[in-house]
Amino acid sequence: MYREVNQFVKNHQNEIQKHWKDRMQKEADIRYVKVISEEVFDRTSREFIHLIFADLMGDNTEFASKLEYFSEKIIRLGWPLSMVTLGIQHFVRIVAKKVMDQPNISKEEHEKYENFFDEWMSPIQTEIIDSYTKTWEKTVSLQKIALQELSAPLIPVIDQISVMPLVGTIDTERARLIMDNLLSGVVKHRSEVVLIDITGVPVVDTMVAHHIIQAADAVRLVGATAMLVGIRPEIAQTMVNLGIHLNQYTTKSTMQKGMEAALELTKRKIVHVEDE
């Protein structure tokens, strides 16, 4: 049965591909069809059809290779899983209808073909969905790592002075990342003063304060000075109410005041020059 269907598909490949593409453009979510060019959609459609051909021909090595590449590509294009499953269903239905609409097909053969397509669609759909899911999880994981690295950057602003702007909530995992970036960044940039800016941290509770204090202590252990800036009035009030003491740390309400203090610590200052 595989051989017969395979030969039929080979003989009608262009017709099947055109029919499938037309169906997808009509029924797929317009948001994912219209955002890419006609050329990209044509190329992706051909790759999808060739992927299914590889499975139909029983070439497991080629199918596995094409499946991994195709999964990565459609995720980059932003195609949702629903569009992928719709594509599989349309392809199987189109091929099944064309095969069973042939003249001289007996009732018994018709039933055999129906069973064949039902049994064939389920495994290939499972394999494609599984590959899509794994590739999606891998992509999300890599994006999460990239976002984490960007969420706690140590930025050298001028010689000997660096800034770490913190935005959003700080949990245990992010606190570890802050600590790692701080210590490696201080050594890399040879910073003498580090301004830890918490302007963008919405809530400072006991746990968050503990993480910030640990980071400041770690900076001091590698020979630099940590300064906390961006402490808003409501944050200061919360910290007092919670009994959090920052007496041994330099704190400033704004980044501007922090920079002025950092310049003084490095024996420099801002000088206003009058126009001649």
| pLDDT tens figures, 86-144 | 888 888 888 888 888 887 778 888 788 788 777 777 777 787 788 888 888 888 877 77
Question: Which of 20-34, 155-169, 240-254 shows the lowest per-residue confidence on average (mean pLDDT)?
Answer: 20-34
pLDDT at 148: 64
Question: Residue 276: inside a domain, yes or no?
Answer: no
Question: Residue 83: inside a domain, yes or no?
Answer: yes
Instruction: Assess whether 135 and 13 both reside in one domain.
Output: yes
Instruction: Assess whether 119 and 222 both reside in one domain.
Output: no
Please say if the pLDDT value at position 37 is more than 80: no
Please say if the pLDDT value at position 233 is more than 70: yes
Instruction: Assess whether 126 and 168 both reside in one domain.
Output: no
Instruction: Assess whether 210 and 86 both reside in one domain.
Output: no
Instruction: Assess whether 138 and 173 both reside in one domain.
Output: no
Instruction: Assess whether 179 and 123 both reside in one domain.
Output: no
The whole-angstrom separation of Cα 202 and Cα 58 is 57
- Domain end point (choices 147, 167, 200): 147
Number of domains in the chain: 2
Question: Residue 272: inside a domain, yes or no?
Answer: no
The overall pTM is greater than 0.85: no
- Domain end point (choices 147, 167, 196): 147
| pLDDT tens figures, 57-90 | 666 676 777 777 778 777 777 777 777 788 888 8
Angle formed by the axes of helices 81-100 and 38-56, nearest 10°: 60
Instruction: Assess whether 22 and 58 both reside in one domain.
Output: yes
Instruction: Assess whether 137 and 95 both reside in one domain.
Output: yes
The whole-angstrom separation of Cα 194 and Cα 153 is 12
What single letter denotes the amino acid at residue 245?
H
Question: Residue 143: inside a domain, yes or no?
Answer: yes
Instruction: Assess whether 161 and 99 both reside in one domain.
Output: no
The whole-angstrom separation of Cα 12 and Cα 39 is 22
Instruction: Assess whether 220 and 261 both reside in one domain.
Output: yes
pLDDT at 32: 60
Please provide the average confidence, as pLDDT, over all residues in the chain: 81
Domain span at 19 = 2-147
Would strands 161-167 and 155-158 be described as parallel, antiparallel, or unpaired? antiparallel
The whole-angstrom separation of Cα 209 and Cα 197 is 13
Q: What is the CATH number of the domain that holds 191?
A: 3.30.750.24
Question: Residue 270: inside a domain, yes or no?
Answer: no
- Domain end point (choices 147, 168, 197): 147
pLDDT at 74: 76
Q: What is the CATH number of the domain that holds 143?
A: 1.10.490.10
Instruction: Assess whether 77 and 53 both reside in one domain.
Output: yes
Instruction: Assess whether 112 and 191 both reside in one domain.
Output: no
